[in-house]
Every structure is written in C-alpha cells, then in structure tokens.
Chain A
Amino acid sequence: MHELTENLLMAFVVGGGICLFGQICFDVFRLTPAHTLCLLVSCGSVISGLGLYDRLIDFCGMGLTLPILSFGNSLTNGALQGLRDYGFWGIFLGMFSPVSAGIAAAVCFSFFAALFFKPKY
C-alpha cells in the first residue's frame, strides 16, 4: 500500500504551489497566460541547467513532472544528453527526445479531436 501513496502529498503541495505561482502571475502581475507559461518553461530550463531538477523530481514526483516547468527541463535534459553523446550537434539531435511523447500525443489527439468534434456552445 505504501508504494501507491508514495509522494502523493508532495505531488499535491509542490504541484499546487507551482500553479499558485502561476495564478499570482495572472492576478497580481497581470501577465497573460502565454507570458506566464513562457516564464515557467524558461525557469524549468534554468533549474535543469543548474542540475537540480531531476534531483527534485525524486522527492516531488508528478508535482514537478506535470507542470509545464518540466517541459523546459526535458528539453534541456535532451540537449545536454545529446551534447554528451555527440558533441555540439547533439544539442539539436537530442533536444526533443524526452518530450517526444508529450508533443506527439498532443498533436495526434488534437488532430483527431478536430476531425470528430465541434466547439460546443
């Protein structure tokens, strides 16, 4: 049973906290959703670049994987892994590998959703 509830509370608090930060950007700093998300993604890359993100994920689990921050982290991880494997050109070769699941799923699902659904009133 312990394995199933592992990290649940951390995920809740950390994930909720990041969303709270996003909401503060919306309401207090009056940023548009696009500005807020771009800011968060860039933050994710920076934290990843400092080598902290994956260590934090061990504690926070989905609380750090689900927010868009992790998109920046994954891209950076991919770029750095590519750099280690292939040198300079690896930055480009590897960048999208870790995020491929998310982007591929979003593109395919949205395409078929658009074929079968209309905007609902």
Chain B
Amino acid sequence: MGVILVISKIAFKNFRQHLAGRVLYLVAIALLVMISYDCLTTFENPIILKMNRLNPILGLLLILLVALLVFSLLIIFYANRFFVYQRHSEFGLLIVSGLSRGQIAWLFFLETLLGEVLALLAGLVLGMLTNKLFAMLLLRFMGISQETNHWWSLIGLRDVSVAYLVIFMIVGVLDAIRIFQLRPVRLLNPEQSTDQPMTAPWLARLLAWLGPLLVVGSYLAIFKLNWLEPFRLADRASLNTLLIFMALMLGVWFVFRNTLPQLCAHLRQSEWAYRHQRILDLAMTGSEFRRHHQSLTLTTVFVTASVVLLGIAAVSYADNYRDLDEEAPVDLAVDQAYHDQVAQEIRGQGGQLERLTSIQVKAVPAQMRGPHSREIMGQRNMPVEVIPSSAYRRVQRHQRGLPPLILQERQALYISYNFQYQKLPARVLRQNKIKFAQPGLPQLAISGYSRQYPFGNSLFYADLLVVPDAFFEQLHSDPPRRLTGYRIKKMAPDSAFLRKIDHASFASKNLRKMTYHADPDLRKSWLKTSVTGQKKSGDLITYSSNSYSVRGPFQVMLRRVLGVVIFVISLLALLMTFAWASVFSLRQLSQVEQNRFDYLTMKKLGVAEDELLRYSDRQNRRIFLTPVLFGIANGLFIMHFVGWHLDHLPLKLLYLLTLVVFLVYWFFYLFTAYNYRRLLRTTQISTQRLI
C-alpha cells in the first residue's frame, strides 16, 4: 500500500512537470471527447427524432462517433509511445534502483491517466457548452432552421466516459507491454540503440530511387483507373485501386526512409554545403528523416486523408448541395396547364398554397455568334427560352441564391446548366452574341453566366435567357408558357403525399415536350411545343421538361443526408488535422532531449547561439512541413483527378479548406519551434553529458 502511495505521488509530480509541454495534445483529446459527446447527444435531440427516414442521419453520426473513438485510440497510443521514449533513461534508472517493471508501468499509467482524465472532464464540459451550437450547425447543414435547446444527456455522459476510459485502459495495457519489453542496458546506454547506417550502399541507393518511382508510378497508374465504376472488392479495378494506394504509401515510406536522407547526404558532401555551412543541418535533417520515417509517413497519410475528406465535403457543398437547391428552389412551381390539377390535389390533402409570383416564358430559335459558339450550342443553332428581367427580379425576392441581375439595353443573362460541362471559361461565353431567328431583332450581348434557373432547372427545356422587358415584348412565341411559384403550408415537406406528387411529375404523360428543327439557315429553323408526346424523326431534336416541380421528400431527405455527410466529413477532417498535428508536435519535441547535447557540443566548438537556433528552426521547418506539403500535394492531386473524371468539380472551396489545414499545421510548427528553442536555451553550456 505504501509503495502504491509513493508511486501515485511521483506520478502526480511527473504529471505536473510535463503538463505545460502536453497542453495542446490534451486540448486535442478534449476536443475529440467534446465532439463525441455532442454526437451522442444528438441521438436524443427531439427535432432529429421527429424526422421520418431517420436511419441514414443517425447512421452517419454513428460512423462519426466510431471514427472519433478509433482515432482517439490511435493518437493516445501513438503519443504515449513518444512519452515512453522520452523517459527511457529515467525508466532505466528506476529499474536499476529496484523498481519492478510492473511498478514502472503503473507509474506511467497513472501519470498519463491523470492528463487523459483531465482532458475527458474538460471535453465533457465543453461538450455540454457547445452541444447547442453543434446541433444548430447540424440542423443548418441539413437545411432546417429550427431552434434547439437540447444540451444535456446522461446517456451521452455515461457512454462517452465509459468509451474513453476503456480506450485509456487499452492504451495502458499496450504501454505496459512496451515497458515490460524495455532492456535496461539500452535505456542506460542510448548510444547502443542508435540506428546503424545502411550496411549495403547499393541497397540504400536502390531504395532511395524506389521511393519516388513508386510515388510517380502510382500517380500515373491512377490515371488508368475508371473512377466512375462502383467500388467493389471483387472488382479488378477496385483491387487495383487498393494496390496502387498501397504502392503510393510504400513509396512515401521509402521517400522518407531512404530518398530524403540520401539526398541530404549527397548534398552535404557537395562544395555548396561546405561553402554555405549547411553540413550540420543537412546531416541532422537527414538523420531525422531516417529516424522518424514512420511518423512522417503517417503524417503524410493523415494530411492526404484530411485534404481528400475536406475535398469531398467541399465538392458536396459546392456542387451537390447547389444541384439540389437549383433543382427545387421553391416548394412548388407549376406550368399553367397543370396548375389547377396540382393545386386542387394539394388543397384536397389539407395543404395551403401561398402564391409567390408568376413568370411568362417564350421559346424561340436563336444562334450564338462568337468564339467557340458551335461548341457551346452543340449544333448550328439552338432553341432558347426567354424571360423578361422584371420577372427574374420578382422571382429573386423568393428564391434565395439567384444571382443579381444587371442588364443594359442590348444585353442578356445566359442561364445554362450544361455550360459547366463544356470546360470553357465564362469569359469565352461573354465574348459571344445572341442572334434570334425572328427578323428585325438586334443581337444581344451576353452580360453574364449563371446556372441557377428561376423556379428550378427541371421546368425548362435547355438554355434560358433573361432579356430586357422591352426586348421580351418584341419576341413572338406561340404559345407562351406561364410558370407560377408557390409556398406550401400546413403540409410536412417530407410527407408521403408530396412524394407521390414528386414521382408523378416525372411520369412521361406529365412531361412537357418540344420539337426543334435546326436548319443551317437560322431563319428556317423552327420549334413547336406541346404537352403531348411527338415522335422523333429525321433532323428533329426533341427536348423535354417537367410541367411542375415540387420540393418533395426526395430532395428534403437528400439535402438532410447530404448536410450530415458534409458536416460529419468536414468535422472529422478538421479534428484529425488538429489532433494529429498535436501528436506530431509532441514527437518533434521529444527529440529535443537527444539533440540538445549535440547543440551544446556545437556551442562549445564556437557556433553562436543565434546560429544554432536558426539551425533548429530550419530543421524543424523541414521535418514539420515536408510531410504536410507532401500530403497536401497528394490530396489535391487526388481531388483534381477525381474532379477531372467527374466533370470538373468546383474545387475553390477545397483550396480554402486546404489553407486551413496548412495553417493548423503551421500554428503547431510555430508552437513546436518556440518550445524547441526554449528547451535548447535551457541547456547550459557548462552542463556535461551524464552517461
């Protein structure tokens, strides 16, 4: 009992001594606990529980929770590895002083547990404080603007505490196994355990070349894959993907283990290194790369994973989310031909309709003239639908996200969903003019491009022009269409009835068809619209559009699921970035103990302190930022490649999020460099190495 008390006291003192250096790591664990609690509490949130088709949403949150717990286990295990490494000489002394390995393992477990429990408690408190924010953000991402006051969950507190305590125990057992395997002779004579240089130079050279070859080869192999195929393990392409990914990781591993150290060795033997006094810092950087190639590879993997996850979230937000919004931006939009029928059905089910506005649409043959016009039209000329600018502005009041309209007298806004797939910049489009088949009309310059249609893209055949009112009046179209937008009240957006209407709007009999004859001479081109089907023949091209569109359960569900996916993925990626950066920083700081005596030797040999600190900064920067930049390059490459296969996905948001990832790592680099300097400065020149 007495020994346990003494060990507990020592553990508490050790915990206090190391607290300052580990604060960011503990903050990272607290954040993981916080999100885990927030996640579990959401399972009891009344707003979420009220929803129909709940399974995908809760399933995604469950995936997030499991991913957080697995990630927590990984980083705590990995961080404790450094802590054990940092304390090797101390453990050696304790062993020769007569402490059993069991007692040392217990001492280490207690002192790490103190920090972990502190992080757990802080995380739970933070979880309760941020739970409302978490739920509000989640709801906002799901497209629900409702207030929630749910923040307390006893089950959440219990489950998160139990889960993390189990993690601490598992890591404690793994640490104990490691401590039991330590050999006192190596602990007390660290020089005996230093890495031996590669014995066969030819093998070192071979592996140094193998790394970049595998990386480049994997990049090239990725281009051979068909990414649009579904991912199945039995599928050969999927198996190849796994093999390529493994080859890429092996390549990264060899780059850190062999290529970069060899490169540093090659450089430091050069005249340049001698003249620029880079011999020492290249040697130390090279040996750091070699010694820590595992953690550097893992950092590259985690940065790549973060960028790819953020890329998926950004693309989902920028593209899929927008697709949904563009498809059904208002509750109901209906053509005059179906107006009465649909309105009657909704009212019959107890729903109320609030009319928003109506717009008149004319369809006419037209031609684009200017650079790449044929490519844009896809034929000699094309049918366009036209609405007046006043109608566009009326819709703008009710349809959020419709871009502002600035039109001069002879200008038109070009709205097209398909233009984005033509891989042409919008400025090329703006260099074109629109000529109409109807004689006597002036050509219109294209003032801007948008992919957002008033009332949604499913109600239009193809491209739409917004023109000045006076011009619209001059257009002859037979017969013009009238579309009306409504807000639906007293009816749940995910109700079964709206789902039925939504399904019916895609039935062939309810589609609106248009036949277009694209004659080489624009004036001879003609179009004919009707609500009944017409058989396709000869040079005739048929177009179809919905006659009415409802923001039905499908969109609502899709939007909610998409919102949760984006929320879960981005949260996971950002947490992963923060937590791994904190572990990487710890690893780097655990290196100071080894390097400080080399710096001391340098100082005795006559190297000035500021020069030494510059060396350490340079070394830290290389070690810290190489895997980060490598990972970012990997991630962006993968996202560009996927984007290239999936019709040039918008990646601007990804660049912004990648910058956030870089800044998080940069912040941790600054923290590490500052503490590294501080620890080096505390090494007095008169201190002797005590081995």
**Do A and B interact?**
no
Question: Which residues of A pack against B, CB within 8 Å?
Answer: none
